[in-house]
Amino acid sequence: MAEWAAKRFWKDTTVAETEGGFTVHLDGRPVRTPAKAPLILPTRALAELIAAEWDAQEGAIDPNTMPATRGANAAIDKVAVQHAEVADMLSDYGDSDLLCYRAEHPRELVERQAEGWDPLLDWASEVLEVRLEPRAGVMHAPQATDALEALRRRTHALNAFELAAFHDLVALSGSLILGFAVTEGRLTPEEAWALSRLDEAFQIEQWGEDEEASEASEIKRQSFLQAALFYRVVN
């Protein structure tokens, strides 16, 4: 039996100013989150992006085609009510950041990692005032406590909407530094994603591409780009 899906019931989708920001109206009625909270958005740009997602729905509503709506719902219903826990969880990536764990061989991969990742660690040291040190191999080696605390403070300073987007940037890339490189404008989202997949790209060059793995990677890439767009329009 096919699962029931809500269908489009409105004609007009509009953006409206409201107390505390902006919202989206369907035939004049404000949209609410799954937890029934008012969908109050910090910027008109985000409201317009969400309105466009709702307006694009035809027939059954497909949440998979509404990433900005999902991000806003997550920010309001989840992140805002457990901000500290989410920020702590993301901060922990600093102690096992992708950019710090390097291959020991082959030489070509070692050089490629150094060329791609070292400039980002240097940038973090200069701009974020955080020095993370690379390690050879996969065994965990703790980073300096002061560096981790600095990353923690910076992560906790993000508001709920920023943190909702930042969650996906970090979790999908495996790197707190790449996440900040995108939000601070050091890298484009595409550049950051490519650097996060450096090892995978090298393996594809050596052994060829696996279709199923490539499809999964593309889904993650799209989610990463959507998170970057979400972060941009909430500021």
Instruction: Give the pLDDT mean for 173-180.
Output: 98
Chain segment 144-171, per-residue pLDDT in tens: 999 999 999 999 999 999 999 999 999 9
The answer for residues whose C-beta is within 8 angstroms of residue 146's C-beta and 6 or more apart is none
Two tokens, residue 50: 């969400």
Chain segment 208-231, per-residue pLDDT in tens: 888 898 999 999 999 999 999 999
Residue 61 is classified by DSSP as -
Residues 189 and 169: their CA atoms lie apart, in Å, by: 9
pLDDT at 1 over 50: no
Domains annotated for the chain, with CATH where assigned, are 13-66 (3.30.2180.10), 83-233 (1.10.3580.10)
Two tokens, residue 123: 């940038």
Chain segment 45-101, per-residue pLDDT in tens: 999 999 999 999 998 999 999 999 999 999 999 999 999 999 999 999 999 999 999
Two tokens, residue 156: 């906790």
Chain segment 89-139, per-residue pLDDT in tens: 999 999 999 999 999 999 999 999 999 999 999 999 999 999 999 999 888
DSSP code string of 169-227? HHHHHT-HHHHHHHHTTSS-HHHHHHHHTHHHHHHHHHH---HHHHHHHHHHHHHHHHH
CA distances from 59 to 52, 55, 64 (A): 15, 11, 14
Residue 31 is classified by DSSP as P
Which pLDDT band, with edges at 50, 70 and 90, does 183 fall under? very high
Residues 187 and 193: their CA atoms lie apart, in Å, by: 9
pLDDT of the residue at 209: 84
DSSP code string of 118-184? HHHHHHIIIII------EESSS--PPPHHHHHHHHHHHHTS-HHHHHHHHHHHHHHT-HHHHHHHHT
Residues 164 and 158: their CA atoms lie apart, in Å, by: 9
Number of H helices, E strands in the chain: 10, 5
Instruction: Give the pLDDT mean for 176-196.
Output: 98
